[in-house]
């Protein structure tokens, strides 16, 4: 057996660090999922998750990873041959379009250079061209975890409204939920898709679907085959198969922590950490992958490796020497970029440790860079007001 002393720094863009209190809550004895105690727990968390999505609509919870919620959104609202608008704007947006094709949907894809989020004006033009209103849904990823670009959902909704397009707006919040502002009702989002293992500070295993009235109406006529993902029983307040009960205990505790810190304070913390990370990256003389300041992600930041240097070899060295996994480049960014996750249960010192590890790794791997990125982050974090204290009731 080998032993690496000290804690591993988990700085990937999810799954994220789980607070001790959440881990302890999950470690409760298993209960009868058909008994009164689970019914009380479920009704509490189903009510308390709504403010995280900023919705008054039902949020359905499946035992699944986030990919299940993607599928659930599509199969409940669409029929074979329906046209959808998707994006080649990053690996996750692209994977979702590939799922849509496998399910028998016709996908129109709008591409970016993977260094910015989809442009609301381009979406508006595509929808304006769709005079016969053949496009039934827009499949938008709020925070593209693969490149650190965040979509401006409110502007996209306004663009859809300007051209009076009736398509459903589906938004993947898997790496933004609990990290960045998301307003399902105000932004007219029809299906809001989430997962437990990132900003929600839980293990993987809960997939969320917030559903608008319009999405529920669409589900009455949608013809794609569906069984496991069918919304009907969930909308009736039932769990048609065994729910992930212990994760519900964890979710309740995570919601306690979120309430104690305050959702808006959490967003401010994520924004501060994202800015500190970008300053560090520029301090090292590297480029941030997201090229558009208005598209900067609050939860993850990707950095390009200098030409001729392997990002994956760098990540391997950082893992082996310093016990810190970093996110790899995905899809067309494979080996070209690495990603720093700064989402979920993090604080200034944890981020500082991660940036220290990256700077040490750049030196150890003899990657051309300037020293001092960490100092840039320290100066920025020090001049910002402190993080509000977390005061969850015991």
Which residues lie near ligand PLP (CB under 6 A)?
A: 14, 65-67, 92, 141, 145, 172, 174-175, 195, 204
Give least dist CB 287 to ligand PLP, A: 22
Give least dist CB 249 to ligand PLP, A: 20
Nearer to ligand PLP, 72 or 219 (CB): 72
Give least dist CB 67 to ligand PLP, A: 3
Give least dist CB 274 to ligand PLP, A: 16
Give least dist CB 301 to ligand PLP, A: 14
Strands 106-111 and 135-141: unpaired
Nearer to ligand PLP, 204 or 387 (CB): 204
Nearer to ligand PLP, 109 or 204 (CB): 204
Nearer to ligand PLP, 65 or 375 (CB): 65
Nearer to ligand PLP, 28 or 99 (CB): 99
Nearer to ligand PLP, 70 or 304 (CB): 70
Give least dist CB 317 to ligand PLP, A: 24
Tell me the C-alpha distance between 155 and 139, whole Å. Answer: 15
Tell me the C-alpha distance between 81 and 100, whole Å. Answer: 10
Strands 149-150 and 143-144: antiparallel
Nearer to ligand PLP, 14 or 188 (CB): 14
Nearer to ligand PLP, 188 or 199 (CB): 199
Closest by CA position to 185, among listed 51, 52, 53, 55:
55
Give least dist CB 204 to ligand PLP, A: 6
Give least dist CB 362 to ligand PLP, A: 25
């Amino acid at each position: 057996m080998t032993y690496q002393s000290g804690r591993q720094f988990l700085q990937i863009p999810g799954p994220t660090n789980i607070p001790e209190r959440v881990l302890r809550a999950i470690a409760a004895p298993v209960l009868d999922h058909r008994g009164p105690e689970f019914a009380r727990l479920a009704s509490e968390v189903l009510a308390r998750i709504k403010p995280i999505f900023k919705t008054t609509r039902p949020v359905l919870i499946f035992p699944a990873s986030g990919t299940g919620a993607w599928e659930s959104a599509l199969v409940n609202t669409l029929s074979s041959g329906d046209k959808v608008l998707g994006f080649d704007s990053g690996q996750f947006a692209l994977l979702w379009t590939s799922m849509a094709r496998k399910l028998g949907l016709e996908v129109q894809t709008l591409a970016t250079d993977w260094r910015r989020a989809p442009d609301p004006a381009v979406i508006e033009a595509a929808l304006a061209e769709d005079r016969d209103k053949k496009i039934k849904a827009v499949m938008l990823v709020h925070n593209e975890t693969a490149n650190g670009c965040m979509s401006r959902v409110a502007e996209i909704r306004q663009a859809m409204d300007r051209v009076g397009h009736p398509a459903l707006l589906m938004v993947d919040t898997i790496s933004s939920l609990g990290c960045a502002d998301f307003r399902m009702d105000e932004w007219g989002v029809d299906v809001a898709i989430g997962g437990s293992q990132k900003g929600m500070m839980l293990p993987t295993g809960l997939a969320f679907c917030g559903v608008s009235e319009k999405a529920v109406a669409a589900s009455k006529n949608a013809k794609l085959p569906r069984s496991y993902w069918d919304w009907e029983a969930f909308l009736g307040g039932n769990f048609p198969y065994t729910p992930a009960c212990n994760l519900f205990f964890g979710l309740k505790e995570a919601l306690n922590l979120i309430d104690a810190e305050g959702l808006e304070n959490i967003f401010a913390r994520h924004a501060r950490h994202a800015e500190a990370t970008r300053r560090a990256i520029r301090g090292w003389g590297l480029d941030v992958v997201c090229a558009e300041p208005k598209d900067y992600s609050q939860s993850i930041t990707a950095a390009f490796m200098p030409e001729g240097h392997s990002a994956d070899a760098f990540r391997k060295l950082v893992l082996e020497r310093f016990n810190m996994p970093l996110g790899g480049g995905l899809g067309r960014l494979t080996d070209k970029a690495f990603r720093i996750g700064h989402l979920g249960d993090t604080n200034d010192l944890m981020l500082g440790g991660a940036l220290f590890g990256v700077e040490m790794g750049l030196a150890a791997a003899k990657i051309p860079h300037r020293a001092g990125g960490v100092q840039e982050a320290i100066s920025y974090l020090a001049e910002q007001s402190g993080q509000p204290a977390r005061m969850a009731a015991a």
